[in-house]
Structures are given as C-alpha cells and as structure tokens.
Amino acid sequence: MNEPYVLESMNAGDGAHLLALARSVGCNFSEAQPDLYLGAGSVFGHRDRGKWISCAGFYAYGQELVSIGHLIVDPAYQGKGLGKRLMLHYLSEAEKRGSAVTLVSTKSGFPLYTSLGFQTVGYAHRFQYDVTAESPQQERTSGDRDMVPLNESVLPEAIELDRTAAGVRRERVLHSIDRHKVSRWAVRDSSGAIQGYGFARAKDDILIVGPLVSTDEDMAIRLLKALIAGWQGRIQLDVPGTQASFQERLCGLDFRETSVSPQMLLGASSLPGRRELLFALADPAFG
C-alpha cells in the first residue's frame, strides 16, 4: 500500500518552512531556532504538494545515543499517523546504528512515546526569571578570576568536559549552539584544566541558558550569573530533576519553576555519562 505522503529530508534552506510548521501548532520558535536545529542534526518530515506538514529532528551522538526532538504535525493533518511514521523511521535508523534513543516528552506526545516502548528515566524542570528595571543586576565579581571567555581555543576542552557529563560526543550540537550564542564562559582550575562551562543564546526576548556543565554546584551558580549578566527580559533554563539542590538555589535567586517534562529512553536502562555534572540541558530537542 502506497503512503500518501513521502518522507523527505529538510535542508539548510528550509528554515522558514520549519518555522511556519512550528508556529502552526503554537510552538514559540524564534526566527533563528530552525537554523539551530538544522545545523545540529537531521530533520525529516512529510510534504503535501510542496508544503511541509510534519517534521522531527534526529540528533546522533556517535553510535551510543540518539535524541529525537520537536516532533510536529500540522493541525490539519493530525490523526493520520504522520507522527508515528516519523518516530518509526527514526527508531529504525537508531536500531541500525545500535543506538539508544532519548527524548524530552510533551504532554501530547507522551501516549505515543509510551506506546513505542519509551520509559521515563528522569524529568526536565523548566525555570524562568523575568529581569525588570528593579531586578538586582547579576555581575561577575573579583572572585571570578578563574573564569575565562569560552573562545575557539577553549571550546575543544569544553567539548571534552561535555563528553564526560553526557557520556557521548556532541560536537555538532555544541558548534551549532556556539553559532547562536549571546554569551559563553568557562572556568579553569589552578592547573589550567576546564572544570565548567556554559552557553546562553537568545530566543527573541528570552535568554536560554544551556548547556551548563560544572564539577560543582557553586561553580554552576557562578557560571549562570556570568551568562545572564546584563540581560534584559526573560531568562530560561531546563534543569535535570537530579539537581534538586541547584533547583532550590535557583528559587533563592527568584527563578520560578514553570513546567516539568518527562525525559524518556528506549534501548537502555539509563542515560550515559556523569549526569551529576549537567546542571542545564542544551535544549529539550538535544536531550
């Protein structure tokens, strides 16, 4: 039986189509967000007479792990099984690679993912803070002399630390985030080794912090303050559920928790890496 819509790959020139599709379902994508995703991995979807009607991202980290993100189906085409077909395509690709698959689930997607065998292995807690004219300004202090700009010479070291935290190599994702950054900082120890790093990027008037990786919680807070210094508007980060103490400290800085999303996994019992080093996700799409 022939399928009515053919599965195709989006390319770098399809950012406007991805943006329109996302906005058709109420996703708050910024103008730059499609380029972030298209630059970080593969995005497949269905078209109907030239119009993109579905899509999802496939972000492969070596042979060990794949993250699936931003599964979207145009409202006029929902109920036709397009989302499930996309997922089955990606799960088949992951099986060929021998990769486990992770995703951060939305409420609407949860029944589909559980029907495909995904299990909840954790939660992503979204925190937000609105900077106003009356808000205390976050500034770097004299105690931050070990903090260095995360420039091109430092980035390879940060990628290695990220590999320790995530358990996989995510160079393509990190380079895509780097191209969209507003700020980026790292911390060196007395021997010069990188012990923490973080990125922040703009999503219209929202500053997205992540990934944020650190060998200790105090350092993570200092990196966060450096990353958000001078920002006017909303600040947002997605914190793993295992970082309970860090979440409490965010509340002490007047951040508020706005949502909790299941982090799901198929093909393994737990996520790889030293996840205690990960204080903020790069993006829900990237796992």
Q: What's the pLDDT tens digit per position in 58-68?
A: 999 999 999 99
pLDDT at 142 over 50: no
Mean pLDDT over 195-221 rounds to: 97
Average pLDDT, the chain: 94
Tens digits of per-residue pLDDT, 111-123?
Answer: 999 999 999 999 9
pLDDT of residue 81: 95
Q: Domain 7-122 class?
A: alpha beta
Least confident span in 115-124, 134-143, 196-205, 250-259: 134-143
Buried b or exposed e, range 4-35, using 16+ CB within 10 angstroms: ebeeeebeeebbebbbebbebeeeebbeebbb
Question: What is the rounded distance in angstroms from the CA atom of residue 42 to the CA atom of residue 39?
Answer: 8
Mean pLDDT over 96-107 rounds to: 97
Q: Which two tokens stand for residue 17?
A: 């189509």
pLDDT at 268 over 60: yes
pLDDT at 179 over 70: yes
pLDDT of residue 159: 97
pLDDT of residue 4: 81
pLDDT of residue 114: 98
Tens digits of per-residue pLDDT, 26-60?
Answer: 998 999 999 999 999 999 999 999 899 999 999 99
Considering the four listed CATH numbers 3.90.180.10, 3.40.630.90, 3.30.70.20, 1.10.150.250, the one that applies to the domain covering 125-280 is: 3.40.630.90
pLDDT at 134 over 90: no
Confidence band (pLDDT; 50, 70, 90) for 145?
A: confident
pLDDT at 171 over 50: yes
pLDDT of residue 1: 44
Confidence band (pLDDT; 50, 70, 90) for 128?
A: very high
Domain ranges in the chain are 7-122, 125-280
For the chain, give the longest Cα–Cα distance: 68
Contacts of 252 (CB under 8 A, 6+ apart): none
Q: Are 34 and 15 in contact (CB under 8 A)?
A: yes
Mean pLDDT over 67-72 rounds to: 98
- The candidate with the shortest Cα–Cα distance to 240, out of 122, 119, 129, 128, is 122
Q: Are 268 and 225 in contact (CB under 8 A)?
A: no
pLDDT at 222 over 60: yes
One fold for both 7-122 and 125-280?
Answer: yes
Q: Are 25 and 32 in contact (CB under 8 A)?
A: no
Q: Which two tokens stand for residue 156?
A: 């390879």
